[in-house]
Chain A
Amino acid sequence: MSKELIDAVVDMREEDAVKIAEKLLESGAEPLGLLDDCREALGIIGNRFAAGECFVPELILAGEMLRQIGAMVKPRISGSGGAAQKKIGKIVFGTVEGDIHDIAKDIVVFMLDVNGFDVMDLGVDVPVAKFVEAVKSFKPQVVGLSGFLTLAYDPMKNTVQALVDAGLRDSVKVMIGGGQMDDQVAAYAKADAYGKDAMAAVTLSKGWVGAK
């Protein structure tokens, strides 16, 4: 474990973080260990975000640092099998039909992923039927519906209803989030919960799969 790397990522020192990672790899550090360090740093950043001490730009820059370090690490682990992180649960996620907003969705998917979930990201403007198919084939414990517009209320409601109609509703928890969403909309859409941001989505999902 490299405290130096963790600190650089947590303190948002992008150039330092990349340089430190390069140096570590050159000096023969275990490549997968670097990814563990990044995940540890992301955990700290996520907690700070939840506490209101850092903000969306920090999450995006952290993702960017993780991407760069991941790209350096990847060629070095291909032969060794690259033991994947153990996943704690499966989530189907997407922005509902008619809505093309992706920034918040991407951040939530990223935070769910680094917190150990196997996330199937269906993208934006996702038709109801596509959610149903994904739940059938991927068998997630959680479905996340994202939407920015007030016009996303009904597509959210319709998506939940389609899961009911397909006999799948009892197999999943449904969370909603995005610009004009709130508890009132969650009740309207018959979702299980509203999450106000990426870390709320992580906390909700962990609670539902029984992870701490």
Chain B
Amino acid sequence: MPKPENFDKLTPDQKRQARLEAWVNHEGLEFANPEAEKGYRERAQMFADAFLMKKPKRVPVAIATGFFPFLYAGYSCKDAMYDYEKLGKAMKKFHADFMPDTTASAGLYVPGRVLEILDYKLYHWPGHGVPENTSYQCAEAEFMKPDEYAAYMRDPSDYFIRTYLPRVMGALEPWKELPPFTDLLELPFIPWGMLPFGLPHIQETFKKLMQAGEISLEWAMKVAEIDNATITGLGLPKYQGGFSKAPFDVVGDTMRGTRAMMLDTFRKKKEILEACERIVPFMTKMPYGAYNWGSAPTVFFPLHKGADSFMSPKGFKELYWPSFKAVMLNLISDGMIPFLFVEGSYNQRLDLITDPDIPAGSTIWYFDKTEMKDVKKHLQGWACFSGNFPSSLLKTGTVDQVKDHTKQLLDDLAGDGGYYMVNGAVLDEAKAENVHAFVDTTKAYKL
């Protein structure tokens, strides 16, 4: 189903419908066999129904994966980020053995070599700052200093190129010496602007970028091959399209770090609000980088710094929500579906997020540890919701405990539609029999 010629003239609802139909009808995919194609359609349709708050044929089930596919296959977390052959084998085995209703993308496991070449400092990854069998972890720091909000807001791109990136990537440190590109105005200025690029240590930064680029390209092709084999071979649709972040999280996660950001909420309220507003257009545009017509029209947001214990409900309303909502509304107006992963809990936010400005059926809320009965009470009839199957149970529980808990969640939440099953926190370690019980109990549940 190609993109309608009059797409721009459609209403947001019609745009969303057209995008979902293109996804369900798998624009651009060639399947291994008719059975895979049929399975793909059925599964995508079940998710599309849940997203639009209808009752699907049965409750679809997803597994949010961390490094589970690798530990299950007998590999290390490091293998996932350094060995394409093992990456492919692990993802293949994981999907074939558990058959969730979606494809978990191999793209989650980024190539460690690229991070090494860039000397990326915001994270530690397996074998590089954390043990080989541990997942990658954030190593926050104040990459933006407290007095630099103004510089960032004046010109975010220039700030990133000449201040932020030189700090967060050791390989780009020399970029702090670059002149602003906005100096390249007229003929007489050009060679002066080019001078730094003749210096060996600056040239070295570009050589590293080219190396990192080549590896990334090779990796991306491998990821596409691996994902495609699952999608078209097993008929499991990918239900995450683009990626974006709440502006407050961009400042908090990426630039200031949790502790500094929390202090800023007292000391620099005005600057935070202005910076978040400045970030809205960037976060609106970002998801389209990974989206093609026919991809799932969902935009995944991992939500961090607005969780219950991280700020007061008042702080959430004042500092976190307005710019986040602005990004969501921009995407919704274009028929994209914000897919919100609430990490930690939002027990004190449920009345705030069900904002009347956000149209019913235009968002998906995936919860980590929020009380799900309350979620249903607030969100039923307003948005699709999912989550909070405890990862601890999949690791430490028995098969019977997992079956009982899965069934309990389904009994409590699934009956009115607009719901799909997924574990809360991403899965690293778990007992295989528990993961089977989780998937199979959901699939067998009669709606």
> What's the least CB distance linking B408 to chain A, in Å?
15
Quick check: A12 and B266 within 8 Å, CB to CB? yes
A64 contact set on B, CB distance < 8 A:
263
Quick check: B396 and A153 within 8 Å, CB to CB? yes
> What's the least CB distance linking A152 to chain B, in Å?
9
| Contact for A56 among B134, B140, B262, B427, CB less than 8 A | B262
Nearest CB to that of A125 among chain B residues?
Answer: B130
Nearest CB to that of B134 among chain A residues?
Answer: A98
Quick check: B428 and A149 within 8 Å, CB to CB? yes
Nearest CB to that of A154 among chain B residues?
Answer: B429
Nearest CB to that of B266 among chain A residues?
Answer: A61
Interface status of A16 (Cβ within 8 A of chain B): no
Taking CB atoms and an 8 Å cut-off, the chain B residues in 156-185 that contact chain A are none
Interface status of B211 (Cβ within 8 A of chain A): no
Quick check: B392 and A57 within 8 Å, CB to CB? no
Quick check: A57 and B137 within 8 Å, CB to CB? no
Docked complex Cα distance between A154 and B392 (Å): 11
Docked complex Cα distance between A154 and B428 (Å): 12
Interface status of A97 (Cβ within 8 A of chain B): yes
Quick check: B392 and A153 within 8 Å, CB to CB? yes
Docked complex Cα distance between A101 and B134 (Å): 13
Interface status of A14 (Cβ within 8 A of chain B): yes
Quick check: B310 and A57 within 8 Å, CB to CB? yes
Docked complex Cα distance between A103 and B260 (Å): 11
> What's the least CB distance linking A96 to chain B, in Å?
11
> What's the least CB distance linking A5 to chain B, in Å?
18
With A180-B391, A180-B425 given, is the CB distance from A151 to B135 under 8 Å? Answer: yes
| Contact for B265 among A52, A57, A149, A179, CB less than 8 A | A57
Quick check: A184 and B262 within 8 Å, CB to CB? no
A154 contact set on B, CB distance < 8 A:
429
A54 contact set on B, CB distance < 8 A:
312
Interface status of A185 (Cβ within 8 A of chain B): yes
Quick check: A179 and B425 within 8 Å, CB to CB? yes
> What's the least CB distance linking B284 to chain A, in Å?
27
Quick check: B395 and A150 within 8 Å, CB to CB? yes
Quick check: A153 and B429 within 8 Å, CB to CB? yes
Chain A, residues 48-68, CB within 8 Å of chain B (1/0): the string is 000010111100110010000
Quick check: B310 and A185 within 8 Å, CB to CB? no
Nearest CB to that of B126 among chain A residues?
Answer: A98
| Contact for A99 among B137, B267, B309, B310, CB less than 8 A | B137
Quick check: A150 and B66 within 8 Å, CB to CB? yes
Interface status of B28 (Cβ within 8 A of chain A): no
Interface status of A25 (Cβ within 8 A of chain B): no
Nearest CB to that of B347 among chain A residues?
Answer: A52
> What's the least CB distance linking A156 to chain B, in Å?
11
A60 contact set on B, CB distance < 8 A:
259, 262-263
With A55-B312, A57-B263 given, is the CB distance from A149 to B135 under 8 Å? Answer: yes
Nearest CB to that of A185 among chain B residues?
Answer: B392
A150 contact set on B, CB distance < 8 A:
66, 391-392, 395, 425, 427-430
Interface status of B393 (Cβ within 8 A of chain A): yes
Quick check: A61 and B312 within 8 Å, CB to CB? no
A134 contact set on B, CB distance < 8 A:
none
Interface status of A201 (Cβ within 8 A of chain B): no
B131 contact set on A, CB distance < 8 A:
97-98
Chain B interface size, under 10 / 10 to 19 / 20 to 34 / 35 or more: 35 or more
Interface status of A40 (Cβ within 8 A of chain B): no
Interface status of B344 (Cβ within 8 A of chain A): yes
Interface status of A192 (Cβ within 8 A of chain B): no
Interface status of B415 (Cβ within 8 A of chain A): no
B67 contact set on A, CB distance < 8 A:
151
> What's the least CB distance linking B226 to chain A, in Å?
23
B348 contact set on A, CB distance < 8 A:
52
B133 contact set on A, CB distance < 8 A:
98, 151
Docked complex Cα distance between A91 and B324 (Å): 41
> What's the least CB distance linking B224 to chain A, in Å?
28
Interface status of B129 (Cβ within 8 A of chain A): yes
Quick check: B391 and A101 within 8 Å, CB to CB? no
Nearest CB to that of B67 among chain A residues?
Answer: A151
Nearest CB to that of A153 among chain B residues?
Answer: B395
Interface status of A100 (Cβ within 8 A of chain B): yes
> What's the least CB distance linking A1 to chain B, in Å?
25
> What's the least CB distance linking B307 to chain A, in Å?
9
Quick check: B429 and A182 within 8 Å, CB to CB? no
Nearest CB to that of A13 among chain B residues?
Answer: B266
Nearest CB to that of A57 among chain B residues?
Answer: B262
Quick check: A179 and B344 within 8 Å, CB to CB? yes
Quick check: B262 and A100 within 8 Å, CB to CB? no
A181 contact set on B, CB distance < 8 A:
392
Interface status of A197 (Cβ within 8 A of chain B): yes
Q: Which of A99, A150, A151, A179 has the most CB of B within 10 A?
A: A150
| Contact for A184 among B124, B129, B393, B425, CB less than 8 A | B393
Docked complex Cα distance between A103 and B134 (Å): 19
Interface status of A188 (Cβ within 8 A of chain B): yes
> What's the least CB distance linking B78 to chain A, in Å?
12
Interface status of B244 (Cβ within 8 A of chain A): no
Quick check: B263 and A100 within 8 Å, CB to CB? no
Quick check: A100 and B396 within 8 Å, CB to CB? no
> What's the least CB distance linking B369 to chain A, in Å?
8
B309 contact set on A, CB distance < 8 A:
55-56, 197
Chain B, residues 247-272, CB within 8 Å of chain A (1/0): the string is 00000000000110011011100000
> What's the least CB distance linking B316 to chain A, in Å?
10
B396 contact set on A, CB distance < 8 A:
153, 184-185, 187-188
Docked complex Cα distance between A52 and B308 (Å): 9
Contacts A/B (CB < 8 Å), 21 sampled: A14-B266, A52-B348, A54-B312, A55-B308, A56-B262, A57-B265, A61-B263, A98-B130, A103-B140, A148-B137, A149-B137, A150-B66, A150-B391, A150-B395, A150-B429, A151-B133, A154-B429, A180-B392, A184-B392, A184-B397, A185-B396
Question: 9 additional contacts, CB 8 Å, given A101-B137, A184-B396?
Answer: A56-B262, A98-B131, A100-B130, A150-B392, A150-B430, A153-B429, A179-B425, A182-B390, A182-B392
